[in-house]
Amino acid sequence: MRGYVELFNLGKTYDTPKGPQVIVEKFDLNIEKGEFIALLGHSGCGKSTVLTMLAGLNSISQGGIVVAGREIQGPGPDRGVVFQAPCLLPWMTAYDNVALGVDRVFPHASKAERRATVEYFMELVGLSSSMHKLPKELSLGMQQRVGLARAFAVQPKMLLLDEPFGMLDSLTRMELQEVLADILQKDGKTALMVTHDVDEALFLADRVVMMTNGPRAKVGKIIHVPFERPRERARVLAHESYYDLREQMIEFLEEQEKLKHQAA
Ligand X SMILES: Nc1ncnc2c1ncn2[C@@H]1O[C@H](COP(=O)(O)OP(=O)(O)O)[C@@H](O)[C@H]1O
Identify which of residues 156 and 164 has a Cβ nearer to Mg ion in the complex.
164
Identify which of residues 75 and 188 has a Cβ nearer to ligand X in the complex.
75
177-216: contacts with ligand X (CB under 6 A) = 214
48 binds ligand X (CB under 6 A): yes
Of the candidate spans 44-52, 108-116, 171-179, 197-205, the one that interacts with Mg ion by CB under 5 A turns out to be: 44-52
- Give, in degrees to the nearest 5, the angle at Cα 61 between 67 and 254: 85
Of the residues 3, 44, 166, 220, which one makes contact with ligand X according to CB under 6 A: 44
220 binds ligand X (CB under 6 A): no
Residue type at 229? R
Of the residues 4, 14, 106, 120, which one makes contact with ligand X according to CB under 6 A: 14
CB of 218 to ligand X, least distance (A): 13
CB of 21 to ligand X, least distance (A): 6
Handedness of CA 27, 46, 224, 84 (dihedral sign): negative
Of the residues 23, 72, 98, 180, which one makes contact with ligand X according to CB under 6 A: 23
CB of 195 to ligand X, least distance (A): 11
46-85: contacts with Mg ion (CB under 5 A) = 48
164 binds ligand X (CB under 6 A): no
Identify which of residues 119 and 162 has a Cβ nearer to ligand X in the complex.
162
Identify which of residues 48 and 177 has a Cβ nearer to Mg ion in the complex.
48
Name the residues that contact ligand X, by CB under 6 A.
14, 16, 23, 41, 43-49, 214
